Amino acid sequence: MLEKLTIKNYALIDSLELDFRDGLTILTGETGAGKSIMLGALSLLLGGRADTRVISDGGSKSIVEAIFTGIDTELKEYFDRNDLEWGDGEVIIRREIAQNGRSRAFINDRPVTLGILSQLAEQLIDIHSQHANARINDPQVQLEILDVIANNESLRKDYLEEFAEYVNLRSHIHRLRDNIERARENSEFMRFQLEQLDKLNPKRGELEQIEARFEILSDADEIKERMSAAASALGGYDEGALDRLSQARGLLSGVDMRMFESAQEDNTISERLRQVEIEVKDIFESLEDFASSIDSNPAALAKTTERMNQYYDVVKRFRVGNAEDLVDMREDLKEKLKAIDYGDAELPELEKEYKAKGKILKERAELLTASRHRAAEEFSAILNDTARPLGLKNMEFNVGFALGKLTPQGQDKVEFLCSFNKNQQPGPVAKIASGGEISRLMLSLKRILASRMKLPTIIFDEVDTGVSGEIADKMGDMMVEMGRDMQVMAITHLPQVAAKGRSHFKVYKSDGDEKTNTHVRELQFDERVREIAGMMSGSNVTDAALRNARSLLKGK
């Protein structure tokens, strides 16, 4: 249930903190007092659109926070799946709107996406406004209602999984056919391209190796001369670096270097010179080997140049970025031509599998349809029994079915049909129901769905519009009955309904020096008497109205 609601800096509300109880809670107030502002704030927790215009003048941000307690442990799986902290049946959800328009959402003080917040909030609270009455005419909403009654979630899950596989396979077949068709149109040109690439036979990294070899062969004499000169400088006769290093080491051998070197040094000067001599000798030998391996070979240069130019020519002709792309292009052409040559052989098997999946999908759809037909009979009987005591004694409700193409929801098209008078042909609710009839029908519908969905809290925004007298009294009784299993809040202008609440809050405005503010406070018994009396007689509260109000409250 919704235990605490906090609203700060939202529209005409500076700061508001309300504690609620279970059962039926009543909210009343003059038109324009701010009841819709409270609902607007709550709608933010359901993922409603954030608007910086709701931030009060001078405020930094708007905050709406709700604390729910006694949460069903079935929701723990949702918390685990979204890596949220489970608070032993307590959930705090919060929405913040900054002046720059940025909106942030939190569950148990952890930042979450708006989608995660709204998915959770929809399982905690339902706000039924007069605008929601129109949704009863939406075929998709009607189908969802029927599925709740049918409790066919496992059937829908099985069907949806099968439907996804069916659609994916169909898309794969279509893509394969399109690829084959497009490929056939260009197959001759593609075979010509592959022939040219096969002739070149490109390999990854080959052009880089060829270009490196070309650099060596084209300047072989100069490179060999430079390497030989460098080798001579290191090891050539008396003037070479190796000879001078050896001389230096010999000269120092006659000196006791321990007088100059620290005992902590890792290597002595003599040892270091020896290591340098070994390294220089290794470089000298490597340079000699490199120089001897260089061969000024005009034939090899011509062959390397020819292969390199072949690469350059094909890269330019095929308009690719580099030689590596030629390898990829060759493999791609092979695959496409293979699909042309052998793709037709794959299609019959795929089409056979597609047909088999279609048969299975149809069977799953029929199971779903059967569950909905059974639910429709049960739903019609329950709704008729629930709504008739609310002054709809001649109401006849049923569900019309038609089969359509397979969709993610199945094959069913449903339509809620009603008649409210004897000898009246049933028709769509929107065409034959008055405002008061729709209100009573929706209350009855919510009564049935609330018990099936295990919804903790529901808020009715003037669901009793268009009714009065005995019917209003019975609608109030129905809300009280609903309040035994869940928390019910009702915004109402009817004294018969207002008197039935376990608790009663009044929404009102006050004018300050600079601004008008909306306030909400819980009424005590005497205050409730006066409030309900005012709902009966208007601003001039009579003694008779007070007596009637007191009688209503005592008889609730």
Q: Are 452 and 148 in contact (CB under 8 A)?
A: yes
Identify the pLDDT of residue 496. 92
SS3 261: coil
Alpha-carbon span 52 to 241, nearest angstrom = 81
**With left for phi above 0 and alpha for psi between -120 and 50, is residue 461 left, alpha or beta?**
beta
Q: Where are the domains of the chain?
A: 1-124+455-523, 187-337, 525-556
**Degrees to nearest 5, angle at CA 292 with 287 and 296:** 120
> Between β-strands 103-107 and 91-98, what pairing exists: parallel, antiparallel or unpaired?
antiparallel
DSSP of 91-111, one letter per residue? EEEEEEEETTS-EEEEETTEE
Protein fold of 1-124+455-523: Rossmann fold (3.40.50)
Identify the pLDDT of residue 331. 92
Identify the pLDDT of residue 247. 78
Buried b (16+ CB within 10 A) or exposed e, 101-116: eebbbebeeeebebeb
Please report the sign of the dihedral spanned by the C-alpha atoms of residue 491, residue 492, residue 495, residue 496: negative
Residue ranges for the chain with pLDDT beneath 50: none
DSSP of 119-162, one letter per residue? HHHTTTEEEE-GGGGGGGG-HHHHHHHHHHHHT-HHHHHHHHHH
Identify the pLDDT of residue 263. 58
Alpha-carbon span 178 to 157, nearest angstrom = 32
**Torsion angles phi and psi, residue 464, rounded to 5:** -95, 15
Buried b (16+ CB within 10 A) or exposed e, 354-389: beebeeebeebbebbbebbeebbeebbebbbebbbe
How large is the C-alpha radius of gyration of the chain?
Answer: 43
Identify the pLDDT of residue 438. 84
SS3 493: coil
Which of 294, 293, 252, 291 has the alpha carbon at shortest distance from 272?
252
**With left for phi above 0 and alpha for psi between -120 and 50, is residue 100 left, alpha or beta?**
alpha
Alpha-carbon span 282 to 268, nearest angstrom = 21
Q: Are 44 and 50 in contact (CB under 8 A)?
A: yes
Alpha-carbon span 499 to 480, nearest angstrom = 11
Task: Name the burial class of residue 477, with classes exposed (0-12), middle (13-18) and buried (19+) by CB atoms within 10 angstroms of its CB.
Answer: middle
